[in-house]
Amino acid sequence: MISRDDVEHVARLARLALSAAEAERMREQLSGILDYIDTLRALDTAGVEPTSHAVPLVNVMRDDETRPCLPPDVVLANAPDPSDAFFRVPRIIEE
Amino acid sequence: MAAPTIHELTAAFARGEQSPVAVAESYLARIDTLDGRVGAYLTVMRDEALSAARASEARYRAGAPLGPLDGAPVALKDVFCTRGVRTTCGSRILESFVPPYDATMVERLRTAGAVILGKTNMDEFAMGSSTEHSAFHVTRNPWDLTRVPGGSSGGSAAAVAGGLAAGAFGTDTGGSVRQPAAFCGVVGLKPTYGRVSRYGLIAFASSLDHVAPFALDIVDTALLLGAVAGHDPLDATSVEAPVPDYVAALAGGVKGLRIGVPDEYFGAGLDPEIDRAVRAAIDVLRDRGATIERVSLPSTAYGVATYYIVAPAEASSNLARYDGVKYGLRVPGKDLIDMASRTRAAGFGAEVKRRIMLGTYALSAGYHEAYYGQAQKVRTLVRREFEAAFARVDLLAAPTTPGVAFTHGDKADPLAMYMNDVYTIPASMTGLPAVSVPCGFNAAGLPIGLQLIGRALDEPTLLRAAHAYEQATPWRHRSPALG
């Protein structure tokens, strides 16, 4: 069971502005889904190592060399608010 | 009459009997006439397609085609970055995003001479099983326009089934190519994890995302896989193994192959008509010389729950990048966090928000071990069961889906939609190659899919068995009556 406070806390972590109606619907739906997911808790997994990936690859390395990359104007072409060679955002540090 | 396959088309190009430009024009004309009803495409790349077709035609005239895909008219799910062509991922948040580069698989298709007709509709960020979660429009199943084509790669599946492309690519994270292939009566192959580079594919769940072809038959499936498979230094998870000649590997049939039939894939919840069709398909494989054995994969019942922790957890992290700063939608806010929160609220649809919330919750302090940690351990159990099965058999045979294509709006409850993936999720979580092949129709004329699952990197055996089955049955020659 997930509370309205939980939903609001998680929405803040996820950077999602939810309306009150959306938050309530989310609480109901997530509760239903989590009830189902909770069936997993019944499984005994003591001593089982976790699988994070289907293929056992570790530490894929490459040489530390410079390689060509996209020019700044191409990278900034999709930016909502470019300024010179930068992405402009609202002020973060108080004056 | 059945639509032509890619290998039929390009053989006709090579003999000079057909022209790549005329064929591209006929597909574009068919899209103009029929796609208003089907809704397979989000963006039709008319000019790019015709220009690629002209270049292909010149190569054939010069006697120097690039290979068996030269001039093949194909469609791409709108999840693959295409340089200079809008790539939305089915989302408002990327509605006007124009990638500055091609995905590796797109580059490889261009190198093989393929003619890209356009970008196809999908569930937003590949999250869904019906293509109803697209932010733009629904896609209809060419076999019955009142029904969904499946998802999330529903546009690509509908395009191939409806003769609006000769082949296509989608992505399969929990079944998003195999399930729509089954619903639309075409072939859908999820290769081994890492077999095809994910570079330039818009990420949903990185440990589960697979680039996967749709085709009208197995020869085309082998050709499409061969064109895009292979190591890519730009994707650290792509495997180094050499790429075999998948078409050459189709010869030989199933004589002597051991095929396992997992009990858990034929339980409660399986549509009886699908049960009959899949068992009849297994009989065909037996008649052709395969040995059939019962096997058990007891953790199958936990697959959906495990997947709906792992995939949303990875998605919540991958989708953190949509913050209104670098590309995509921006909704202004009073500070950076407010801007990101408003942007994401306006740009993401309901299903994407649900999955981000679920994933963030499963990863949050106090719940991480109980949910994400436990799911990763269950993933190990699932993997071990497959390893035990593959110690005894060469392939597994099962249904692709528990039901046939459903009607629009029928699965409004999120959990009911998730349950559609019950038979496709295990091969996603284990990274094993799996193919859905048409194996008949129900009484209402809706297609049914047979799923074959193979050992890691053993696409040759998987495709050989699928080819033997296809050659022994008539399903490939039926097409929907779209006009």
The tokens 């293929």 sit on which residue? A55
Our CA-based measurement puts residue B135 at a distance from the nearest CA of chain A, in whole angstroms, of 18
For this structure, is B176 an active site residue?
Answer: yes
Q: Catalytic: B56?
A: no
Could you tell me if B357 lies within 8 Å of chain A, comparing CB atoms? yes
pLDDT of residue A95: 66
Task: Find the helix packing angle between B218-228 and B459-472, rounded to 10°.
Answer: 160
User: What integer pLDDT is reported at residue B388 of this predicted model?
Assistant: 97
Residue of A nearest to B303 (CA): A40
Instruction: Say what the pTM is.
Output: 0.97
Residue with tokens 């699908």: B274
Contacts of residue B455 in chain A, CB cutoff 8 Å?
none
Question: Which of B237, B329, B358, B417 is best to mutate for the A interface (most A CBs within 10 A)?
Answer: B358
CA atoms A50, A56, A58, A61: torsion sign? negative
Decide if A93 is inside a domain: no
* A7 part of contact set with chain B, CB < 8 Å: yes
Q: Do A78 and B430 touch (CB under 8 A)?
A: no
Asked if A29 and B369 touch (Cβ cutoff 8 Å), the reply is: no
Which one of B100, B339, B415 has the shortest CB-CB distance to A75?
A: B100
A92 and chain B in contact, CB less than 8 A:
yes
Rounded-to-integer distance, Cα B31 and Cα B162, Å: 9
Kindly determine whether residue A37 and residue B329, on different chains, have CB atoms separated by under 8 Å. Answer: no
Separation CA B107–CA B123 (nearest Å):
24
Q: What is the pLDDT of residues B60-81, one digit of tens each?
A: 999 999 999 999 999 999 999 9
> Is B80 in contact with B105 (CB distance < 8 Å)?
yes
Nearest residue on chain B to A50, judged by CA atoms? B377
Chain B: residue whose CA lies nearest to A46: B377
pLDDT digits (tens, 9 = 90+) for B187-203: 999 999 999 999 999 99
Residues 6+ apart with CB under 8 A from B282: B259, B261, B292, B397
Judging contacts by C-beta atoms under 8 Å, the chain A residues touching residue B192 are: 55
pLDDT attached to residue B365: 87
Q: Could you tell me if A51 lies within 8 Å of chain B, comparing CB atoms?
A: yes
Distance from CA of A61 to the nearest CA of B (A): 8
Output the pLDDT for position B483.
Answer: 64
Q: Is B172 helix (H, G, I), strand (E, B) or coil?
A: strand
Q: Give the pLDDT band of residue A57 (cuts 50, 70, 90).
A: confident
Interface of A with B in 57-76 (CB under 8 A): 57, 60, 62, 70, 74-75
What's the pLDDT score for residue B279?
A: 98
Q: Which amino acid is at B221?
A: T
| B378 vs A: CB within 8 A | yes
- 8 A C-beta contact, residue B187 and residue B217: yes
- Across the range B23-42, mean pLDDT stands at 98
Q: Does A23 touch chain B (CB under 8 A)?
A: no
For residue B431, which residues of chain A lie inside 8 Å, CB to CB? 53-55
Give chain A's count of helices (H) and strands (E).
Answer: 3, 2
- Domains held by chain A: number: 1
Q: Which of B341, B344, B354 sits opposite A26 (nearest CB)?
A: B354
Predicted confidence (pLDDT) per residue in B352-400, tens digit: 999 999 999 999 988 899 999 999 999 999 999 999 999 999 999 999 9
Q: Do B376 and A77 touch (CB under 8 A)?
A: no
The predicted complex's ipTM stands at 0.95
Residues 261-320 of chain B with CB under 8 A from chain A are 299, 302, 304-306, 308-309, 316, 320
Q: Cα–Cα distance between B183 and B158 in angstroms, integer?
A: 9
**What does the pLDDT look like over B320-342, one tens digit per residue?**
999 999 999 999 999 999 999 99
Q: Is B153 a catalytic residue?
A: no
Mean pLDDT of B405-416: 91
Question: Is B1 a residue whose pLDDT tops 90?
Answer: no
Amino acid at B354: R
For chain B, the first-to-last Cα distance in angstroms comes to 11
CATH code at position A9: 1.10.20.60
CA distance A14 to A12: 5
Q: Which domain holds residue A20?
A: 4-42
Which member of B153, B176, B299, B428 is catalytic?
B176
Residues in chain B: 483
Question: Residue B92 has what pLDDT?
Answer: 98
Mode of pairing for the β-strands spanning A82-83 and A86-87: antiparallel
Contacts of B375 in chain A (CB under 8 A): 40
For residue A68, is it within any domain?
no
Q: Is domain B6-251 classified as CATH 3.90.1300.10? A: yes
Residue B343 has pLDDT above 60, yes or no: yes
The distance in angstroms from the start CA to the end CA of chain A is: 44
Q: Do B345 and A87 touch (CB under 8 A)?
A: no
Residue A33 domain-assigned (yes or no): yes
Say whether A40 and B100 touch across the interface (CB within 8 A). no
| Among candidate residues A16, A85, A58, A27, the one with its CA nearest the CA of residue B236 | A58
Q: Does the beta carbon of A20 lie under 8 angstroms from any beta carbon of chain B?
A: no
Q: Specify the higher pLDDT residue, B342 or A61.
A: B342
Q: Which tokens sit at B7?
A: 């290998």
Q: Quick one: how far is CA B312 from the chain centroid?
A: 19
Report the pLDDT value the prediction gives residue A58, as an integer from 0 to 100: 78
CB contact under 8 A, B373 and A50: yes
Q: What is the helix, strand, coil percentage profile of chain B, to 5?
A: 45, 15, 40
Cα–Cα distances (Å) from A11 to B282, B324, B333, in that order, read 48, 17, 16
